[in-house]
Each structure stands twice: as C-alpha cells, then as structure tokens.
Structure 1
Amino acid sequence: MRAMSLLGAGDARIVEIPEPTRRDGELLLKVEMVGLCGTDLNSFRGKNPLVTYPRIPGHEIAATVVGGSAAIPVGTRVTVSPYTSCGICPSCRRQRFNACQGNQTFGVQRDGALTEWLSVPEEKVYVSHLSLKELCLVEPLTVGFHAVARGRITANDTVAIFGCGGVGLGAIAGASFRGARTIAIDLDDTKLETAQAAGATDLIHSAREDFRSRLRELTGGRGPDIVIEAIGLPETFRAAIEEVAFTGRVVYIGYAKEPVAYETRLFVQKELDIMGSRNALPEDFREVIAMLERGHFPVDRAVSAIVSLEETPAILSTWSSSPASFTKIMVQVSK
C-alpha cells in the first residue's frame, strides 16, 4: 500500500509498504484524511528529538471502518486517539494515561497514519457523524481541551491564552465551550480573527499593544484567573506567572526551547497552581466531539490547504519554507 515516509530530515517520499495485520481486539481502518501539525513539520525539518528515520508521520485521523466489530460495524466513520499507554508506570496507575512514561504517539515514536490502511485497538476509536475535516480536527483540539480541563476552567473564570495556533485555538474553543470569558493573545491578525470565531471574547494583538496593561484593563487590575501558555517562549512562560491573578492557575502546553528564569517569589506570594498539560484523555476526545457536533468551531477557517497523498512531500517543503502561510494542512489519503 502507499504511504508517505520521512526517510531523513527534509526527505519526504511516497513509498510502498506492507498492508497492516489486524490483531485481536483491533479494527481495520481505511484512512480517509490526515491532518498535519507542527510536530510533523518539525519531524520533516529534523528538529523533533523524539523521531527516528524512516518514519511515517500523521496522528490526526479521519477514517472509515472496513474491518469492524459488533459495536463498531463496517462503514462507520471514526477518529483515533494516537497514543499508547503501558498501564504500569506512575501516570497510568493514577489513570492519567495521557502522560504515560512510555507513550508512543503515531508518527513520532512509531509509524503514523499517512498510509492507506491502519489497524488500531478498538478502545482507541471514537465514532461520530462529523465530516472528514471535523474528524481530523478532533485530536489537535483535544490537546487544548485537556489544558482547559487541567486548569479546572468554569463559566465563572476569565482565561487568557498565549498563542492562537492549532493548540492555542483548541484551548480557546475549550474555554469558550465551558462558558468562560476568553482572552486570546497573538501577533497575527488572521489567527486572532480565527480565535474570535472559535469563541474568544477579547483579543490582544501583542505586536500593536502592550498585552500586560491590556490584560489588567480587561480584568479590573486583578489579572486573569487562569493563563494557558501555548507558544513555548521564555518570555510568555514568565508572563503567565507575572500576569495571572493571585491564587490563579497557570497551565503550560508549549515547550520552551531554552531554560526559563523565574522570579519564584510570585509562585509563593500568589499561591499559584502551576501545571503542565500533555496529550489528552478519553473525556477530552468526547468533549471535543460534542463541541464540533454542535457547530461551535470555525472548521473551514481553521483549514488552509487540502492536498493529496502524492502532493504531501511538496507541501511539507513549502510549509517549511513559509510556516506562517499555513494554519492547518490536511491530506486526502483515499482516492
């Protein structure tokens, strides 16, 4: 069967690989569409330290069941949780399987979904009548929704989100879906417009206005109850601590690529809850699907390009050369 494989940094090719073997407890899927994210781009660029080559990328999946079960029959449209869990590490013993110490994500530590067929455990499959594009958006949105869950966000909260890329957009949609006042911070007009369509109640363009004074203005000088960092820069890591309200909550999704120096006095003085957020849990998948089924997300605005499997190497090269030109790229795998 056809697949798109990364043979090395900057070397993406269409290859032929064996068809998957369906094991007990698994469903055989015809892969219809796969979304690409920043992780896939970094793998293409050779900047993902978790990836070895060759590697088939792809973990944002829309598929049709072609080898089903009594519960999920042939012809059912599904999306897939791309993570594994060992069941025995400290995270798994605490039922936090999303942070499994030995997790292997499709397209990162193991081959992913940019293939014609895929066999996956039935418990990793989620059924919905959503469109293919919507099904492809479920997994990336769950990452932001999980951060919202970590922050214990309710309708009584004011939330500020640094970054309106794919992950930040999920956090904005998740906070809005729970009824929170949601402040989106970015320096890109198009991303801010999409954030507003996803539910942001207030926008801060950080290249044109001072986000610190604007945050204080919007919150009556108190600061937001929760700050979610979805960029991964030292300055926004620090700003989250500095600008959040006393006894507030900070959730980090982004990775800073260099050490971050803090004024730790604020941790104690404000008595903050500071949390990391990784991947997603089954309840996050179910919440995102419910949100999409109610039409609460600007799907078409969030997708900037749809290409065929054969066009994927070229679009990865173009995306690498001009990352700001794309939001979400989707690959139409099936013909």
Structure 2
Amino acid sequence: MKALQITEPGQVRLTGVPEITPASGEVLLQIRTVGYCGTDLSTFRGRNPLVTYPRIPGHEVAAVVAALGEGVDGWAIGDEVLVFPYTECGVCSSCLAGRPNCCKHNQTLGVQREGLLTEYAAVPAGKLLRGDGLSSRELALVEPLTVGAHAVARGQVAAGETVAVFGCGAIGLGAVAAAAFAGARVIAIDIDDRKLAIARACGAAECVNSQNTDVANALAELTEGHGPAVVIEAVGLPATFRAAVDLVAFAGRVVYIGYASQPVEYETKWFVMKEIDIRGSRNALKADFERVIAMLQQGRVPTDQIVTQEVSLEEAPDALRQWSDRPGDVTKVHVRLSGGRDAAI
C-alpha cells in the first residue's frame, strides 16, 4: 500500500507499507480523504515535540468500511465513517474526571503514533463515528472543526453572549461556527480579509481585520464598552494571548486553543480585577463530534470555502511543501485517496 511519510524535518515522501488485515475488534478502512492538520505542518517543519520520525500523518479522515475483524458488531462493509483519533488511558486524573480529551497519556493518530494518510488502515471499531448524509469532504472536516467546538464548550458559551475569536484558520472557524450555532453573537478577528469572509459565512456577525483596525477600539464599540463575554484564542502568539485577557469583559472567560511558541508576559491585575476564568482547550470529546456533525448536516458550515485545495496522494508531498512555504494561502488541504460522493469536485 502507498502512504505518505514525513521522514525527518523538511522531508516528505510517498512510501510503501505492508498490507494489513483487521485484528479482533478492529475494522479495515479504505481511506477516502485526509485533511492536513496544523500539527502535520509542525511535524514537517520539525517543531512538534510530540513526534518521532519517520511518521505517517493524518487524523482528519473520511473512510469506508472495507472489512470487519472478528467480533465486530454494528458496522457493515460499505459504511461511510470518520475516526475518533485520540486514545485515553482511563486511569489518569483527566480520564477519571470524565475529560479524556486531555488524557495525560493520549496518543493522537499521526502525532504520537502512525496516522491514516495511507490507502488502507485498521482501527478499533469503537473509534468509528457515523456522519449520515455527509460527503467525504464533510466527514474529513469534522475533526478539525471539533477542536474549535470544544473550545466553545469550554467557554460555556450561551445564546445571546458576545464571543470574540482570534484567528480564522480551520480551528478558529470551528469556534466561530460552533459559537454561532449556540446562538452567540460572534466577532471574528484575523489579518486576512479572505479568511474573515469565510468566518462570516460560518456565522460571524462582525469581522475585524487586526492589520488595519485597532481591535481594542473595535471591540469596545461593538460591545458598548463592555468587551466580549468570551474570547477564544486560536492563533498562538504572545500578543493575542495578552489581548484575550486585556479585552475580555469583566467576569468574562478566556479560552486558549493555540500554543504560544514563546513565553507570555501578562498584566496580571486583570486576572483579579476582572475575576476572569482562563481555560485551556485540548482536542475534543465525542459530544463535540456529535455537535459538529449536526452543524454539517444542517448546512451551517461552508465547507467549499474552508477547503482551499484538494490533491491526489501523488500530489500530497508537494502540497505539504507548498503549504509550509506559503501558509497564508491555505485554510485546509484535503488529500483524496479514493472515490467518495464528492470525488469529482
């Protein structure tokens, strides 16, 4: 079988891997579509401390069931599925608290273990999810959108609240769409008008280009001086980490999805004076997957705008290199490995 492999920082190639059969409790999947994730880009650039090389990436997946291992019930050959890509140990503090998304020993497909950017793969049947009526493109978008949706859940976003989202890449767009789906008024913030236009299509009520607009003034004007009740940071820069705390309303909530690559210095008085809640957000829960599937089934996400490029497996190495060279040109790259209901697009 063919697979894409990142062999070392800056090096990616197609390689052959042995054919597999599903073990007991597993399902053999024919992979249809895999989305490149920001972690894949970090792996390619040598900036992902969780990865060892070589590594097959891929955890944003649309697939079809090709064979069933012994003892598998509830699935049939030909079922169209997506994959829940995380593991949970069941015994660490987060698992015991009912939050396995931040399991201390989590291993995400394509990060700490081999991913699914290959023609066929075997996965435990319990990691499959249905997305009835969704196309291959939509199925492969569920996982990245759930990361933003989980941040919205962490922020306890409620209908009628104002939510500001810093960053309108694929993760930030998931937060925009999920907050709008929850009935919030969403203000999207980015430096790229094209991405802001997608954010508006995802449900943002207002958009602010931080490259040519003073964000503090804009948010004050849009919120009658109060600031947003919730700020979600999906960029990962020290400046936006600080801005989230500076600009959130008194008694507000800040949710961080991005990783800042440098230490962040804060004016800590706002932590106390505003009595703000600061929360991290990692991966997603199955409930977040269900919420995003419902959003997609209702047509609430402009998938044709989010996916900026679709390539074949043979073209995938070059697509990753080009994304690394020009990251601003890309919202989401999909690699098509086999036919699906939207294979002709």
Instruction: Report the TM-score range of the alignment, normalised by the length of the smaller protein.
Output: over 0.9
Q: Which amino acid aligns with 1:17?
A: V
Q: Which amino acid aligns with 2:311?
A: V
Instruction: Return the alpha-carbon distance in structure 2 between the equivalents of residues 235 and 93 of structure 1.
Output: 35
Aligned to 1:285: 289
Instruction: Return the alpha-carbon distance in structure 2 between the equivalents of residues 10 and 266 of structure 1.
Output: 41
Q: Which amino acid aligns with 1:142?
A: T
Residue 184 (structure 1) aligned to one of 185, 188, 196 = 188
Q: CA RMSD in A?
A: 1.0
**Displacement of 1:13 after TM fit?**
1.0
CA deviation profile, 1:134-170 (whole Å, cap 9, x unmatched): 0010000000000000001111211000000111000
Report matched runs for 1:286-325 at 5 Å: 286-325=290-329
Instruction: Return the alpha-carbon distance in structure 2 between the equivalents of residues 273 and 21 of structure 1.
Output: 48
Residue 72 (structure 1) aligned to one of 33, 57, 75 = 75
Q: Which amino acid aligns with 1:112?
A: G
Instruction: Return the alpha-carbon distance in structure 2 between the equivalents of residues 76 and 278 of structure 1.
Output: 29
Aligned to 2:234: 230
**Displacement of 1:23 after TM fit?**
2.3
Structure 2: segments with no counterpart, 5+ residues:
340-345
CA deviation profile, 1:193-228 (whole Å, cap 9, x unmatched): 000000000101111110100000000000100000
Aligned to 1:132: 136
Aligned to 1:3: 3
Name the SS for the 1:237 alignment partner.
Answer: helix
Q: Which amino acid aligns with 2:64?
A: T
Instruction: Return the alpha-carbon distance in structure 2 between the equivalents of residues 311 and 301 of structure 1.
Output: 21
Instruction: Return the alpha-carbon distance in structure 2 between the equivalents of residues 181 and 29 of structure 1.
Output: 40
Residue 328 (structure 1) aligned to one of 314, 326, 332 = 332
**Displacement of 1:239 after TM fit?**
0.8
Instruction: Return the alpha-carbon distance in structure 1 between the equivalents of residues 173 and 204 of structure 2.
Output: 9
**Displacement of 1:278 after TM fit?**
0.1
1:207 aligns with 2:211: yes
Q: Which amino acid aligns with 1:203?
A: C
* TM-score scaled by length of structure 2: 0.95
Name the SS for the 2:279 alignment partner.
Answer: strand
1:16 aligns with 2:16: yes
Q: Which amino acid aligns with 2:61?
A: I
Instruction: Return the alpha-carbon distance in structure 2 between the equivalents of residues 320 and 306 of structure 1.
Output: 16
Instruction: Return the alpha-carbon distance in structure 2 between the equivalents of residues 287 and 333 of structure 1.
Output: 27
1:171 aligns with 2:175: yes
Quote the sequence identity (%).
Answer: 56
Name the SS for the 2:134 alignment partner.
Answer: coil
**Displacement of 1:334 after TM fit?**
2.1
Pairs aligned (count): 335
Structure 1: segments with no counterpart, 5+ residues:
none
**Displacement of 1:2 after TM fit?**
0.9
Name the SS for the 2:42 alignment partner.
Answer: helix
CA deviation profile, 1:25-81 (whole Å, cap 9, x unmatched): 221111011000211111111121111111000110000011244312111100011
Q: Which amino acid aligns with 2:323?
A: W
* TM-score scaled by length of structure 1: 0.98
Aligned to 1:89: 92
Instruction: Return the alpha-carbon distance in structure 2 between the equivalents of residues 229 and 55 of structure 1.
Output: 29
Instruction: Return the alpha-carbon distance in structure 1 between the equivalents of residues 159 and 197 of structure 2.
Output: 22
Q: Which amino acid aligns with 1:265?
A: K
Instruction: Return the alpha-carbon distance in structure 2 between the equivalents of residues 10 and 259 of structure 1.
Output: 26
1:275 aligns with 2:279: yes
Name the SS for the 2:275 alignment partner.
Answer: coil
Instruction: Return the alpha-carbon distance in structure 1 between the equivalents of residues 321 and 274 of structure 2.
Output: 46
Aligned to 1:48: 48
Name the SS for the 1:67 alignment partner.
Answer: strand
Structure 1 moving runs of 4+ over 3 Å: none
Name the SS for the 1:159 alignment partner.
Answer: strand
**Displacement of 1:265 after TM fit?**
1.1
Instruction: Return the alpha-carbon distance in structure 2 between the equivalents of residues 189 and 253 of structure 1.
Output: 22
1:113 aligns with 2:116: yes
**Displacement of 1:305 after TM fit?**
0.8
1:219 aligns with 2:223: yes
